[in-house]
């Protein structure tokens, strides 16, 4: 019941100001956000990769309202890539990008987002890595997939995310699997209407498995974005049946969630990538993490009361 309320709050400016300004928010935020600056995130990247994990770095932020903020976001990614170059991690450190941070919702936003993301993808390719386009709410997806297709003409390794809760996703999965794309499959983290998305957890999980099957049997590279133990076990079984070797797909989890499981899977020989978000505009990302697990909200509420 709480999830939808928190997701609605994740898009409220008044709540954003209230939660972001509260000093007691910080310790809770730090569980999910790996620092505010490149200097803070680089040691975390080193720690994770030294431990046998891989990373996908996300400069947090979304729904920006001026073109200047979109170019600032692009520059933040370019600065990050320059720093990653020094670490020599290649594809072990990729980037995740939200096109709404690159101006997708502004007038002329499709072209603006493409113009902003292209130099990031080019810079990533120069240091031997790539970029995955995150999936935001359903109204943004036609534009995201068109940008993904455009970028893949020059950079076929560019990935994208699909969300199991949307009715459209099985068709998207078939197209992307046939095209040989890198695809991250997730359950979906936004508040979506019943006209476009399953609302029931069991229906979402079933759709996830159907999509997983399509991806595993296809030509592309499946990236399984989930912490759900059942889906992780099903992935391993479907990969075995499809004849995929351990490095022909990967698991992905979020920084701060099920860290021991990340290490365990990596020790079994799986590729495990940790989606590592950092930056100052963490509000939307943080609220979605609270919405996914009500216990996080209790932890957060307790920290507000006991300070
Ligand atoms: P589920 O929510 O059923 O959780 C399974 C178990 O994982 C829980 O029982 C709990 O133990 C643990 N868990 C899950 N979330 C937790 C949390 N917040 N705090 C503590 N424990 C938690 N979504 C989207 O719409 N667009 C996107 O681009 C992405 N990108 C993305 C990248 C990666 C690498 C991941 C892992 C996830 C995303 N997501 C996303 C988020 C995704 O849609 C989904 O909301 C979360 O992954 C939670 O779903 P699970 O599959 O983990 O299952």
| Structural domain spans, the chain | 34-281
pLDDT of residue 12: 81
Ligand 1 pocket, residue 46 CB under 6 Å: no
Distance 227 CA to ligand 1 centre (A): 6
Tell me the CA distances in angstroms from 254 to 53, 222, 230, 275, one per residue in order.
Answer: 12, 17, 17, 5
Look at residues 101, 102, 157 and name the one whose alpha carbon lies nearest to residue 131. Answer: 157
- CA of residue 208 to ligand 1 center, whole Å: 13
Percentage of the chain beyond pLDDT 90 is 82
- The mean pLDDT of the chain is 94
Write the DSSP string, 209-226: HHHHHHHHHSSSEEEEE-
pLDDT at 122: 98
Instruction: Report whether 189 belongs to an annotated binding site.
Output: yes
% of the chain residues with pLDDT over 70:
97
Of 94-108, 196-210, 290-304, the range with the lowest mean pLDDT is 290-304
CA atoms within 13 A on the CB side of 122: 7
Name which of 1, 120, 32, 47 is nearest 300 in CA terms.
Answer: 32
Kindly name the residue from 92, 118, 182, 184 that is annotated as catalytic: 184
CB 286 within 8 A of CB 9: no
50: annotated active-site residue:
no
Confidence of residue 7 (pLDDT cuts 50, 70, 90): confident
**pLDDT confidence of residue 3:** 81
pLDDT of 305 reads 60
Q: 59 forms bridges with which residues in the sheet? A: 278
Q: What is the pLDDT of residues 260-272, one digit of tens each?
A: 999 999 999 999 9
Provide the pairing of β-strand 159-163 with 131-133.
parallel
Task: Please give the distance, rounded to the nearest whole angstrom, from the Cα atom of residue 241 to the centre of ligand 1.
Answer: 25
Which pLDDT belongs to residue 303? 63
Reported as a single tens digit per residue, the pLDDT across 51-69 is 999 999 999 998 899 999 9
Query: How many Cα atoms occupy the beta-carbon half-sphere of 143 within 13 Å?
Result: 21
Cα(84)–Cα(97) distance, rounded to whole angstroms? 16
Mean pLDDT (whole number) for 172-195: 97
183 CB within 6 A, ligand 1: no
Report whether CATH 3.40.640.10 matches the domain 34-281.
no
Residue tagged active-site, from 134, 137, 172, 281? 134
* Mean pLDDT to the nearest integer, 220-239: 98
With contact defined as beta carbons under 8 Å apart, do 51 and 263 qualify?
A: yes
* pTM exceeds 0.90 for this model: yes
Band (pLDDT 50/70/90 cuts) for residue 307 is very low
Model confidence at 293: pLDDT above 60 = yes
């Amino acid at each position: 019941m709480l999830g939808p309320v928190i997701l609605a709050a994740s898009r409220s400016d008044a709540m954003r100001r209230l939660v972001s300004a509260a000093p007691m928010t910080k310790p809770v935020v730090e569980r999910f956000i790996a620092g505010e600056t490149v200097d803070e995130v680089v040691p975390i990247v080193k720690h994770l990769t030294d431990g046998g994990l891989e990373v996908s770095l996300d400069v947090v932020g979304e729904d920006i309202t001026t073109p200047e903020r979109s170019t600032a976001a692009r520059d933040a990614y370019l600065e990050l890539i320059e720093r990653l170059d020094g670490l020599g991690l290649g594809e072990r450190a990729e980037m995740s990008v939200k096109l709404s941070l690159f101006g997708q919702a502004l007038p002329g936003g499709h072209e603006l987002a493409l113009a902003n993301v292209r130099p990031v993808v080019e810079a990533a390719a120069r240091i031997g890595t790539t970029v995955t386009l995150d999936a935001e709410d359903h109204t943004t997806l036609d534009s995201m997939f068109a940008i993904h297709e455009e970028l893949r003409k020059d950079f076929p390794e560019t990935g994208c995310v699909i969300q199991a809760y949307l009715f459209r996703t099985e068709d998207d999965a078939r197209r992307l699997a046939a095209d040989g794309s890198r695809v991250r499959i997730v359950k979906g983290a936004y508040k979506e209407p019943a006209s476009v998305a399953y609302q029931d957890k069991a229906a979402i999980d079933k759709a996830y498995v159907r999509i997983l099957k399509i991806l595993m049997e296809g030509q592309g590279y499946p990236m399984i974005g989930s912490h759900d133990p059942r889906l992780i076990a099903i992935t391993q079984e479907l990969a075995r049946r499809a004849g995929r070797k351990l490095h022909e797909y990967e698991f992905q989890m979020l920084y701060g969630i099920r860290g021991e499981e990340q290490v365990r899977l990596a020790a079994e020989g799986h590729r495990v990538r940790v989606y590592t978000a950092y930056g100052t505009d963490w509000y939307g990302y943080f609220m979605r993490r609270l919405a996914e697990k009500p216990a996080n909200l209790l932890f957060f509420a307790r920290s507000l009361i006991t300070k």
